[in-house]
């Protein structure tokens, strides 16, 4: 049985006799933390309010109080108190959209995400890939991001179609058994064929709400392996192997090593990025960040068989490399 959520949050115009909702947890919701469940069903409600009603005991499971770490079980009955939200929040809907499908079955959907598209709404973005997919596939019982890509990064994005697939893939990523590869074009004279970068990363939020990451002692352990694919006089194409999966890891590891990713507006060479916007006598133009999730290998969560998926380099990136001429190596 699947939980019905259409009337969980009632807009003010129809809030005449607000009552608590009692939702029975189905197979697809089982295993989810109560706070994440509430954040999903209470669209438009501030996180602070969701956590307040959890702390106050207004949310009950099987008539008992729970904390925000409680994991739901199939058959649980969740009491959700009446929640008022602004009218504008209830009317904001993502337009349905499909994306280039690399792989799909009953458990997984893997797409080739274009650059410039956020994977989810938030931080000033009304909606992203996941909201657009849910709008385009209203019949889908379950669609959740397995991992994330930066808005400016293109390439392979995994979406689970079953909760069992989501938890299985999260376990694989936590245990380090997945293999993610990215292609990045950088500025500078890269020398080594294979280079390990192990720099601790500290994540913080600026006063205006922007997420930033810096190399800092005491930060989270982060490890990237870079393989040189091609080299020109002023640029290099690298393949990055993620050994850990920290926010902005590849971008910060490269920038801190003196090799900023071309077109990176957050950690890159801003003067160079501006020059790259226009073609010159020695190269074509590049109007995006040159970072692409090109390959991922993991164990299929249902069959148990290894699966390797690839996404070709986007046309704009490929044209830029061709415009550089023959590589030195």
So what's the pLDDT on residue 6?
36
Question: What values do phi and psi take at 227, rounded to 5?
Answer: -115, 130
Verify whether residue 150 is a known catalytic residue: yes
Mean pLDDT (the chain) is 88
Which residues lie below 8 Å from residue 82, measured CB to CB, with a gap of 6+? Answer: 10, 15, 18, 19, 20
So what's the pLDDT on residue 121?
81
Our CA dihedral for 101, 103, 105, 107, rounded to 10 degrees, sits at -100
d(CA 224, CA 205): 23
So what's the pLDDT on residue 24?
85
CB atoms within 10 A of CB 228: 16
Q: Set out the domains of the chain in order of their start, with CATH numbers.
A: 12-90 (3.10.290.10), 91-163 (3.30.2350.10), 175-323 (3.30.2350.10)
Are 289 and 264 a contacting pair, CB within 8 Å?
yes
Given a cut of 50, the residues of the chain with pLDDT beneath it are: 1-17, 86-91
List 76, 150, 264, 269, catalytic entry = 150
């Amino acid at each position: 049985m699947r939980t019905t959520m259409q009337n969980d949050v009632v807009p003010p115009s129809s809030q005449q006799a607000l009552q608590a909702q009692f939702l029975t947890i189905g197979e697809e919701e089982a295993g989810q933390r109560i706070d994440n469940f509430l954040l999903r069903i209470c669209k438009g409600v501030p996180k602070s309010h969701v956590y307040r009603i959890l702390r106050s005991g207004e949310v009950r499971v099987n008539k008992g109080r729970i904390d925000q770490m409680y994991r739901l079980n199939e058959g649980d009955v969740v009491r959700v108190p009446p929640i008022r939200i602004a009218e504008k929040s209830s009317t904001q809907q993502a337009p349905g959209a499909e994306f280039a499908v690399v792989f799909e079955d009953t458990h997984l959907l893997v797409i080739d995400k274009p650059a410039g598209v956020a994977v989810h709404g938030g931080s000033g973005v009304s909606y992203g890939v996941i909201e657009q997919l849910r709008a385009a596939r209203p019949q889908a019982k379950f669609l959740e991001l397995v991992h994330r890509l930066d808005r400016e990064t293109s390439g392979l994005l995994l979406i689970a179609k079953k909760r069992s697939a989501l938890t299985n893939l999260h376990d694989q990523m936590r245990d380090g058994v997945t293999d993610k590869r990215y292609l990045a074009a950088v500025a500078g004279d890269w020398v080594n064929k294979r280079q390990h970068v192990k720099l601790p990363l500290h994540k913080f939020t600026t006063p205006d709400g922007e997420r930033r990451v810096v190399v800092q002692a005491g930060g989270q352990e982060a490890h990237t392996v870079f393989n040189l694919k091609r080299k020109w006089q002023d640029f290099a194409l690298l393949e990055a192997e993620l050994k850990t999966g920290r926010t902005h890891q590849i971008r910060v590891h490269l920038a801190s090593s003196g090799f900023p990713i071309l077109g990176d507006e957050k950690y890159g060479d801003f003067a160079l990025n501006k020059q790259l916007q226009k073609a010159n006598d020695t190269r074509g133009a590049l109007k995006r960040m040159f970072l692409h999730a090109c390959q991922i290998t993991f164990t299929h969560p249902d069959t148990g068989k290894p699966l390797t998926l690839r996404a070709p380099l986007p046309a704009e990136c490929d044209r830029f490399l061709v415009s550089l001429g023959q590589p030195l190596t």
